[in-house]
């Protein structure tokens, strides 16, 4: 985490939901908002889906700004609580910055098309038909599993470890752990393989076996690519993002707290 920073030029973005638009109207008079092209920080109103959409837009444009989110959506793991009272300026003065680095995915389809995307939470591979997938798993150019027979497999960042990864019985990773979670989805063989925790400097590669009979798609957060042949993954350190959190509600604290939910 970095030290507190004051931001003067703020942009305000809100999802299209009724709650988010009402929150936007309530905040309209609190600050002299600027266009995002002029801002030094962004306030995001919505849920995690809209937050991911905003962060991906920044990654695509190459102009990455600190983001402070307020949850007026369904899921708000990446967001702060939305509450009346303290002004946005005061909340930002107390906020702490948390750096997160996305995964970079390079995928090649069976037709030979190459696609490169970033994923803030995880990249998951999923079977396209009723047939189980067969996937070769390599780490740092060494084959670790010759044939993983499964519904799928995913690689998660610490920021995404409480999302799909947790639902697939993957481990929760502290934000500052410098680790990645490699987690199978309904593995049939090796039956007892429960996944692996890897250093975030690792390079992970998935190669699809028997693709004609067992097609597989790749999903990088909200983007999907079908009929893949192979997928290569590594942390994109040059694309580091900054999220701003209220004291006591930072993402790393939420990750710790999630492990004690029963």
* Residue 250: pLDDT band with limits 50, 70, 90: low
pLDDT tens digits, 151-209:
999 999 998 998 899 999 999 998 888 999 999 999 999 988 999 999 999 999 999 99
- For the chain, the structural domain boundaries read 10-101+240-258, 103-237
Residue 6 has pLDDT above 90, yes or no: no
Residue ranges for the known binding site for NAD(+) are: 48-49, 121-122, 151, 159, 162-167
pLDDT tens digits, 212-246:
999 999 999 989 999 999 999 999 999 999 999 98
- CATH number for the segment(s) 10-101+240-258: 3.40.50.10330
Q: Please check whether the two domains, 10-101+240-258 and 103-237, share a CATH topology.
A: no
Q: Can you give the three-state secondary structure of the chain, one letter per residue?
A: CECCCCCCCEEEEECCCHHHHHHHHHHCCCCCCCCCCCCCEEEEEECHHHHHHHHHHHHHHCCCCCEEEEECCCCCCCCEECCCCCCHHHHHHHCEEEEECCEEEEEEECCCCEEEEEECCEEEEEECCCCCEEEEEEECCEEEEEEEEECEEEEECCCCCCCHHHHCCCCCCCCCCCEEEEEEECCCECCCCCCEEEECCCCEEEEEECCCCCCEEEEECCEEECCEEEEEEEECHHHCEEEEECCCCCHHHHHHHHCCCC
* Residue 81: pLDDT band with limits 50, 70, 90: confident
Give the pLDDT confidence score for residue 251 in this predicted structure: 66
Give the pLDDT confidence score for residue 186 in this predicted structure: 95
Mean pLDDT of 39-44: 96
Residue ranges for the known binding site are: 48-49, 121-122, 151, 159, 162-167
Give the pLDDT confidence score for residue 86 in this predicted structure: 66
Please state the pTM of the whole predicted model.
0.86
- CATH number for the segment(s) 103-237: 2.60.200.30
Give the pLDDT confidence score for residue 1 in this predicted structure: 44
Residue 2 has pLDDT above 70, yes or no: no
Give the pLDDT confidence score for residue 165 in this predicted structure: 95
Active site residues: 48
């Amino acid at each position: 985490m970095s030290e507190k920073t004051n931001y003067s030029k703020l942009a305000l973005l809100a999802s299209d939901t009724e709650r988010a638009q009402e929150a936007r109207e309530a905040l309209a008079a609190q600050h002299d908002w600027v266009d995002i092209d002029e801002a030094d920080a962004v306030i995001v109103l919505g849920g995690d889906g809209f937050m991911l959409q905003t962060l991906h837009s920044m990654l695509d444009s190459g102009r990455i700004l600190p983001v402070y989110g307020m949850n007026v959506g369904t899921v708000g793991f990446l967001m702060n609580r939305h509450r009346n009272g303290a002004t946005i300026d005061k909340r930002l003065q107390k906020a702490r910055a948390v750096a997160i680095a996305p995964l970079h995915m390079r995928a090649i389809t069976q037709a030979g098309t190459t696609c490169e995307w970033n994923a803030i939470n995880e990249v998951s591979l999923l079977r396209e038909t009723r047939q189980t997938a067969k996937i070769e798993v390599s780490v740092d150019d060494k084959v670790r599993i010759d044939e993983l027979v499964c519904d799928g497999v995913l690689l998660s960042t610490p920021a995404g470890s409480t999302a799909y990864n947790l639902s697939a019985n993957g481990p929760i990773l502290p934000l500052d752990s410098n680790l990645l979670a490699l987690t199978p989805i309904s593995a049939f063989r090796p039956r007892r393989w429960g996944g692996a925790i890897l250093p975030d400097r690792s390079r992970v590669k998935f190669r699809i076996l028997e693709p004609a009979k067992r097609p597989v798609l790749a999903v990088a957060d909200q983007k999907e690519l079908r009929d893949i042949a192979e997928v290569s993954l590594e942390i994109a350190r040059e694309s580091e993002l900054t999220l701003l959190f209220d004291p006591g509600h930072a993402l790393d604290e939420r990750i710790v707290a999630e492990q004690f939910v029963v």
